[in-house]
A and B are shown apart, each in its own frame.
Chain A
Amino acid sequence: MRWIWIDRIIELKRGERCVAIKNVSAAEEVLHDHFPARGDRPAMPVMPNTLIIEGMAQTAGIMVGHAGDFKEKVILAKITKAVFTDAVRPGYTIRFTAEMDNFSKAGASTHGTCELIDPDTGDTRPLAKITLMFSHVDHNMAGIEFPEHNFVFTGQLMDMLEASGFKSQAGPAN
């Protein structure tokens, strides 16, 4: 399964900011279950807000991982706040902008905005504001055992990061 809800990273500033793009396509199965046609209305395919939050978590998660040279297992631990002001239909683009509020050995907090871009007109309007908390899980084990290898920053996310023109290995800020 491809669990990746952003298509391209367009900006990555170490420990400060990450910007990603997602093009929402009618080919994505999930849109057709959300919401299918009923007797009283036609189908209303829109990107589920939960997956928009996941897209922000991946954008912000890459920013948090990058700040720690991708050595930490960065886990989404809390959706502190998520407020949506619009819905996303197929054929539109979402721009995720994540910014770091705090970063420590134990974890990080981030805030971010999602914007809805109409590729036809180039018009951009606000879509959502999302505040998240991440845990560096090896420092918050609470008696739970996790695998030693870094199961967060695996092929899909790191390949996408490299395909976007950013180095995934530890190194100077891109």
Chain B
Amino acid sequence: MTQDEVFAKVREVLEEALGVDEDEVTPEATLGGDLGAESIDYLDIVFRLEKAFGIKISQAELMADDVLGDPQYVQDGKVTDLGMSELRKQLPHADLDAFDASRQVDEFPNVFTVESMVKFVQSKV
């Protein structure tokens, strides 16, 4: 499956799960900031990606949300050095460079862009 084919399907999934228009789903759009995804939407997206691509995904695998709930990786609302290294290991599909500058947990949803979803799916199909 080519990157364009994966992108087209991912875009369809995000349009349906988030009720957004096709032209809003650009590769660089962030799921939380630009497309308005809330926590339950990520589970909806996981379910829809599984169905669309015939793959199995755990939410932790896609988002590493177990890392952010672990006190050895997060202190005072910021991800520690150990936490950053764990995130980089668990999320090879995400671009963490911008997040690394602030490491604020509440900015973490902005790590997930449409492009990172496409990369993640490509690693699974």
Q: Which residues on A are within 8 Å of B, measured CB to CB? A: 77-78, 80, 101-102, 104, 106-107, 109, 133, 135, 140, 142
Contact present for A78 and B44 (CB under 8 Å): yes
Shortest CB–CB separation between residue A151 and chain B, in angstroms?
Answer: 19
Do A140 and B17 form a contact, CB below 8 Å, given A101-B47, A102-B50, A106-B59? Answer: no
**Interface contact tally, CB-CB below 8 A:** 30
Contact present for B50 and A78 (CB under 8 Å): no
Q: Across the interface, which residues of B come within 8 angstroms of A77, CB to CB?
A: 40
Shortest CB–CB separation between residue B49 and chain A, in angstroms?
Answer: 11
Q: How far is the CA of A106 from the CA of B39 in the complex (A)?
A: 11
Q: How far is the CA of A107 from the CA of B40 in the complex (A)?
A: 9
Contact present for B50 and A135 (CB under 8 Å): no
Shortest CB–CB separation between residue B125 and chain A, in angstroms?
Answer: 19
Is the CB of B8 closer than 8 A to any CB of chain A?
no
Q: How far is the CA of A140 from the CA of B39 in the complex (A)?
A: 9
Contact present for B47 and A109 (CB under 8 Å): yes
Give the B interface residue count (CB, 8 A). 11
Shortest CB–CB separation between residue B66 and chain A, in angstroms?
Answer: 11
Contact present for A133 and B39 (CB under 8 Å): no
Contact present for A109 and B59 (CB under 8 Å): no
Q: How far is the CA of A133 from the CA of B59 in the complex (A)?
A: 15
Interface residues of B in 23-53 (CB under 8 A from A): 39-41, 43-44, 47, 50-51
Task: List 5 tightest A-B contacts by C-beta distance, closest first.
Answer: A77-B40, A102-B47, A78-B40, A107-B43, A109-B47
Our pick among B39, B44, B51 for the contact of A142 (Cβ within 8 Å) is B39
Shortest CB–CB separation between residue B65 and chain A, in angstroms?
Answer: 9
Contact present for B59 and A80 (CB under 8 Å): no
Q: How far is the CA of A78 from the CA of B40 in the complex (A)?
A: 7
Contact present for B43 and A135 (CB under 8 Å): yes
Q: Across the interface, which residues of A come within 8 angstroms of B50, CB to CB?
A: 102
Interface centre among B17, B39, B43 (most CB of A within 10 A): B43
Q: Across the interface, which residues of B come within 8 angstroms of A102, CB to CB?
A: 47, 50-51
Q: Across the interface, which residues of A come within 8 angstroms of B16, CB to CB?
A: 80
Shortest CB–CB separation between residue A63 and chain B, in angstroms?
Answer: 16
Contact present for B44 and A106 (CB under 8 Å): no
Q: How far is the CA of A106 from the CA of B16 in the complex (A)?
A: 20
Q: How far is the CA of A104 from the CA of B44 in the complex (A)?
A: 11
Given contacts A102-B51, A109-B43, A133-B43, 5 further A-B contacts (CB under 8 A): A78-B41, A78-B44, A80-B17, A106-B59, A140-B40
